C-alpha cells in the first residue's frame, strides 16, 4: 500500500504523477474530483500507526522542531522504548501492549495495463485544542470502536454519516524528538526517542555520525565496483 493516492485517470509511470496526495482535507473531500468519487465508491480505510511526526509551525525558528505524537500509554509502557511494550492479549483482560493510533483515510486501486497499485491518503482536519499550539492541522484519528466500525462499514453507513464521525482528537500524548528527523534520509531506530533541550547537542552529534557512516558505506561500495575493461 503506497502513501499518496494515484489519481485513477493517471496513465503511464505512476511516479510521474505530480499531485500532492499524501493528505486530503476533510473540508474539501466532497468537492474534490479526486477524493469524492473514491468516497462515494466506498474507498474508506484505516491507517494504523504507532505514532506520527509533526513539526511546530506556530513558532518561527531557523530549524523546525519535530515532535512525536501518539496515543496515551499505560504507566509501564514507554512509546520510545519497545522493550517496555510487552505486547500480549488474553480474553479476560484484552490487549496489554502499546496503544496505537487509528487514522481515517481513503484508498484507491490504480491499474495501468498489468500494473496494479493500492494507494491511500490520510484525512486531515483542524487541530484540536490539544495540538493547536503545535500545528493548525491534524489527522482524523478514530478513538472509539464505534468510530472505527462506522468508518469501515460501507454497506450500512453512508459517506455523509461516516464523515460526521470524524472529530478532532483531544486525548493525545507527545514529546520532542531530534531534528535528525527533519532529514528524510535518516532511518535510525532512535527517530522517536524523547529528547530534552539539554541533550540536543548530543543528538546533533549522533546524526552527524550516522550520516558519516552512510557516506563511508557508499564510498566503499563505489571503491569495490570493478573497473570495466575497454574493448
Lowest average pLDDT, out of 51-60, 120-129, 197-206, goes to: 197-206
pLDDT range class, residue 52, cuts 50, 70, 90: very high
**Residue 69 belongs to domain spanning:** 2-176
pTM of the full structure: 0.82
Q: 228 pLDDT exceeds 90?
A: no
Which residue has better confidence, 226 or 2?
Answer: 2
pLDDT at 43: 98
pLDDT at 184: 85
pLDDT range class, residue 198, cuts 50, 70, 90: very low
Q: 187 pLDDT exceeds 80?
A: yes
Classify residue 37: in a domain, yes or no: yes
Classify residue 187: in a domain, yes or no: no
Classify residue 220: in a domain, yes or no: no
**Phi/psi class of residue 4: alpha, beta or left (left: φ > 0; alpha: ψ in -120 to 50)?**
left
Average pLDDT, the chain: 87
Confirm if 23 and 135 have CB atoms less than 8 A apart.
no
Mean pLDDT of 8-23: 89
Mean pLDDT of 217-221: 52
The tens digit of pLDDT for each residue in 21-31 reads: 999 999 999 99
The tens digit of pLDDT for each residue in 101-140 reads: 999 999 999 998 889 999 999 999 999 999 999 999 999 9
Mean pLDDT of 49-76: 93
Classify residue 192: in a domain, yes or no: no
- As a whole-number percent, the residues of the chain with pLDDT over 90 amount to 66
Round to whole Å and give the CA distance between 53 and 192: 8
pLDDT range class, residue 202, cuts 50, 70, 90: low
Distance between alpha carbon 208 and the CA centroid of its chain, in Å?
25
The tens digit of pLDDT for each residue in 82-112 reads: 999 988 888 887 788 899 999 999 999 999 8
The domain tally of the chain equals 1
CATH of the domain at 129: 3.90.1680.10
Q: 219 pLDDT exceeds 60?
A: no
Classify residue 208: in a domain, yes or no: no
Classify residue 113: in a domain, yes or no: yes
Round to whole Å and give the CA distance between 161 and 149: 12
- Give the CA radius of gyration of the chain: 21
Q: 171 pLDDT exceeds 50?
A: yes
For 185, half-sphere exposure in the C-beta direction (CA atoms, 13 angstrom radius) is: 8
pLDDT at 221: 53
Classify residue 127: in a domain, yes or no: yes
Classify residue 196: in a domain, yes or no: no
126-146 burial: b if 16+ Cβ within 10 Å, else e:
ebeebbeebbebbbbbbeeee
Q: Which residues contact 188 (CB under 8 A, 6 or more apart)?
A: 180, 206, 210
Amino acid at each position: 500500500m503506497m502513501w499518496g493516492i494515484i489519481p485513477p485517470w493517471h496513465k503511464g509511470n505512476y511516479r510521474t504523477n505530480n499531485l500532492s496526495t499524501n493528505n486530503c482535507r476533510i473540508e474539501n473531500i466532497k468537492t474534490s474530483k479526486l477524493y469524492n468519487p473514491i468516497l462515494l465508491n466506498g474507498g474508506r480505510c484505516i491507517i494504523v500507526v504507532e505514532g506520527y511526526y509533526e513539526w511546530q509551525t506556530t513558532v518561527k525558528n531557523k530549524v523546525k522542531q519535530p515532535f512525536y505524537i501518539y496515543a496515551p500509554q499505560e504507566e509501564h509502557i514507554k512509546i520510545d522504548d519497545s522493550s517496555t511494550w510487552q505486547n500480549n492479549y488474553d480474553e479476560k483482560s484484552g490487549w496489554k501492549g502499546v496503544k496505537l493510533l487509528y487514522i481515517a483515510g481513503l484508498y484507491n486501486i490504480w491499474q495501468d495495463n498489468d500494473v496494479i497499485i493500492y494507494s491511500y491518503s490520510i484525512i486531515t482536519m483542524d487541530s484540536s485544542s490539544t495540538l493547536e499550539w503545535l500545528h493548525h492541522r491534524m489527522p482524523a484519528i478514530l478513538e472509539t470502536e464505534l468510530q472505527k466500525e462506522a468508518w469501515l462499514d460501507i454497506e450500512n453507513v453512508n459517506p455523509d454519516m461516516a464523515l460526521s464521525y470524524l472529530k478532532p482528537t483531544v486525548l493525545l500524548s507527545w514529546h520532542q524528538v531530534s531534528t535528525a528527523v527533519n532529514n528524510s534520509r535518516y532511518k535510525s531506530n532512535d527517530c522517536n526517542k524523547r529528547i530534552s533541550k539539554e541533550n540536543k547537542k548530543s543528538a546533533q552529534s549522533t546524526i552527524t555520525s550516522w550520516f558519516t557512516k552512510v557516506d563511508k558505506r557508499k564510498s566503499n561500495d563505489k571503491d569495490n565496483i570493478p573497473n570495466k575493461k575497454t574493448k
